[in-house]
Amino acid sequence: MTYTTILFERRGRTALVTINRPEKLNALNAQCKAELRDLFTRLKTDPETDAVVLTGAGEKAFVAGTDIAELASLDALTGKEFASGGQAVFDLVQHLGKPVIAAVNGYALGGGCELALACHLRLASDRAKFGQPEVNLGIIPGYGGTQRLARLVGAGRAAEMILTGNTIDAQEAWRIGLVNRVVPLAELVASALELAGVITAKGQIAVRMALKAVNVSMEAPLSEGLTIEASLFGECCSTADFREGTAAFLEKRSPKFTAR
Ligand code: COA
């Protein structure tokens, strides 16, 4: 597939993906969602990619939402399909099996906030703004926002954002746990790539098992999550990376992980 709305670059073992419709504040249209689906499907099994950084082109927006021009003609049936289709793309991000870091440069509104929520880590520039303004359009978040936002920041804070449609700035997003860090805009992508580099230097089997376990915590009751955690822990104990990691510690040297 030829990409016209996203850019893809390799930075070591990290894929840098940029949503690239700056003239429309990177609003997600059907083409953009199809391209994201295609690229993330490839990245899932790409042996050269251990992590992804996702950002928006330009200084103004990460993603200012779903493309409102494509919303206007929806009815009950097509609306449900529209939401399910977007959810499927964002599920692909959450279940990529490799860490995805959102580098939120500017507006992350509606589907843009939901896209950041589907990522595993979120870095925000000091100019970023987050919001779920769907209520202003007579709809609700439909790409996972009502579920992932509440799980991340708590139902009360999620309800305030979703019911008022109010936008919050990066500092407030950090205060409520919506983002991991706030950095100056000029350092944002470099910081996200550096964070990705810290993770890609670890044993990749352990990183993937850990991601799987953390994903389960979003959905399963504690008892089920603990059972899955124990199984994944056991799987890690059968790897060469585990033997290398423990041996390196005991021999006071840096480990050389091989993802085996
Ligand atoms: N869908 C489609 N187009 C969008 C868009 C969206 N979600 N967000 C911005 N755009 C377009 C604008 O229509 C405009 O296009 P034009 O130049 O062809 O008229 C362009 O991007 C620039 O946006 P503009 O509104 O002029 O910028 P601004 O700085 O005045 O305002 C925002 C920025 C983010 C506050 C404003 O664009 C906005 O409210 N966007 C919609 C946010 C939203 O409701 N998202 C949830 C959708 S479910």
Residue 194 and residue 231 in one domain: no
pLDDT over 90 for what percent of the chain? 100
Chain centroid, CA 185 distance in Å: 18
Domain residue limits at 221: 204-250
Residue 188 and residue 209 in one domain: no
Predicted pLDDT at 163: 98
DSSP state string for 132-167? -GGGGGT----SSHHHHHHHHH-HHHHHHHHHH--E
Q: Is the beta carbon of 114 within 6 A of some atom in ligand 1?
A: no
Choosing from 59, 114, 194, 229, the catalytic residue is 114
Domain boundary among 162, 180, 200: 200
Question: Which ligand 1 atom is nearest residue 167's CA?
Answer: 35
**Whether 123 contacts 195, CB under 8 Å:** yes
Residue 221 and residue 184 in one domain: no
Nearest CA to ligand 1 atom 18: 24
**Active-site annotation holds for 134:** yes
Q: Is the beta carbon of 107 within 6 A of some atom in ligand 1?
A: yes
Residue 120 and residue 82 in one domain: yes
Q: Is the beta carbon of 64 within 6 A of some atom in ligand 1?
A: yes
What is residue 107's three-state secondary structure?
Answer: strand
Residue 192 and residue 210 in one domain: no
**Which mutation among 5, 21, 24, 140 tests ligand 1's pocket best, with the greatest number of atoms within 8 A of CB?**
24
Query: Residue 89's domain is classified under what CATH number?
Result: 3.90.226.10
Query: Residue 236's domain is classified under what CATH number?
Result: 1.10.12
Predicted pLDDT at 64: 98
Nearest CA to ligand 1 atom 16: 24
Tokens of 209: 């098992």
Predicted pLDDT at 77: 97
Tokens of 223: 């008892």
Residue 146 and residue 158 in one domain: yes
Q: Is the beta carbon of 113 within 6 A of some atom in ligand 1?
A: no
Predicted pLDDT at 253: 97
Predicted pLDDT at 204: 96
Alpha-carbon gap, residue 104 to 117, rounded angstroms: 11
In which band, very low, low, confident or very high, does the pLDDT at 136 lie, cut at 50, 70 and 90? very high
Predicted pLDDT at 222: 97
Residue 16 and residue 141 in one domain: yes
Q: Is the beta carbon of 182 within 6 A of some atom in ligand 1?
A: no
Q: What is the mean pLDDT of residues 96-106?
A: 98
**Whether 19 contacts 4, CB under 8 Å:** no
Summarised one tens digit per residue, pLDDT across range 137-165 is: 999 999 999 999 999 999 999 999 999 99
Summarised one tens digit per residue, pLDDT across range 163-221 is: 999 999 999 999 999 999 999 999 999 999 999 999 999 999 999 999 999 999 999 99
**Active-site annotation holds for 23:** no
Whole-model pTM over 0.85: yes
Buried b (16+ CB within 10 A) or exposed e, 109-145: bbbbbbbbbbbbbbbbbebbbbbbbbeeeeeebbbbb
Q: What is the mean pLDDT of residues 21-32?
A: 98
In which band, very low, low, confident or very high, does the pLDDT at 14 lie, cut at 50, 70 and 90? very high
Alpha-carbon gap, residue 5 to 19, rounded angstroms: 6
Q: What is the mean pLDDT of residues 108-118?
A: 98
Inside any domain, residue 256? no
Q: What is the mean pLDDT of residues 231-260?
A: 97
In which band, very low, low, confident or very high, does the pLDDT at 240 lie, cut at 50, 70 and 90? very high
Summarised one tens digit per residue, pLDDT across range 32-86 is: 999 999 999 999 999 999 999 999 999 999 999 999 999 999 999 999 999 999 9
Nearest CA to ligand 1 atom 11: 24
